[in-house]
């Protein structure tokens, strides 16, 4: 009786829980990451079973502006990356959401939408997990945008 109750609990639990826990290299992401050149930073933290981040840019006058919200979640066999940008226009604040899908453990994400970046790849330093490269590919551009970051603090 007790064994059948435990088995039933696990069977029901496997169908109810659609989200999954983040694993692999993505677990190195929580922290404060500063862009080489001092043009801004990203802050990442684990919130429940998701990685939640924010991107900030720093002007030459040292004004800091939040420009994007970031999220990495895992569902079954894929990592999902959501990028929400905040752009100031003549009409006010414009919010654009891009969704990307990745593999089970890799930090390479391809765009699900037609507009915006085609792909985003996060790679950590081979021997140093406090170094991070972000490569952003756009359709029509031969050279991808490459950003170098270093961790300045853990969250």
Instruction: List, in sequence order, the alpha helices (H) in the chain.
Output: 2-16
DSSP code at position 153: E
pLDDT band at 26 (very low <50, low <70, confident <90, very high): confident
Q: What is the mean pLDDT of residues 64-92?
A: 87
Mean pLDDT of 133-145: 88
Q: Where are the domains of the chain?
A: 20-153
- Fold category of 20-153 in CATH: Lipocalin (2.40.128)
Report pLDDT for 98: 84
Task: Calculate mean pLDDT across residues 40-53.
Answer: 95
Give the separation between CA 110 and CA 83, rounded to whole angstroms: 12
DSSP letter (8 states) at residue 76: T
Q: Quote the pLDDT of residue 112.
A: 73
The predicted model gives 28-41 an average pLDDT of 93
pTM: 0.78
Residue 10 has pLDDT above 80, yes or no: no
79-105 average pLDDT score: 81
pLDDT band at 20 (very low <50, low <70, confident <90, very high): low
For residues 10-21, give the mean pLDDT. Answer: 44
Q: How far apart are CA 33 and CA 56, in angstroms?
A: 10
């Amino acid at each position: 009786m007790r064994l059948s109750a435990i088995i039933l609990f696990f069977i029901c639990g496997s169908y109810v829980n659609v989200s999954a826990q983040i694993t692999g290299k993505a677990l190195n992401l929580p922290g404060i990451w500063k862009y080489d050149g001092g043009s801004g930073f990203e802050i990442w933290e684990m919130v429940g079973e998701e990685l939640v981040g924010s991107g900030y840019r720093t002007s030459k006058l040292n004004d800091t502006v939040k420009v994007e919200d970031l999220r990495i979640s895992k569902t079954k066999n894929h990592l999902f990356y959501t990028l929400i940008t905040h752009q100031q226009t003549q009409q006010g604040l414009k919010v654009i959401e891009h969704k990307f899908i990745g593999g089970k453990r890799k930090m390479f994400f391809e765009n699900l939408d037609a507009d915006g970046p085609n792909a985003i790849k996060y790679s950590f330093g081979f021997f140093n997990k406090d170094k991070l490269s972000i490569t952003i590919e756009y359709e029509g551009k031969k050279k991808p945008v490459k950003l170098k970051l270093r961790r300045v603090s853990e969250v």
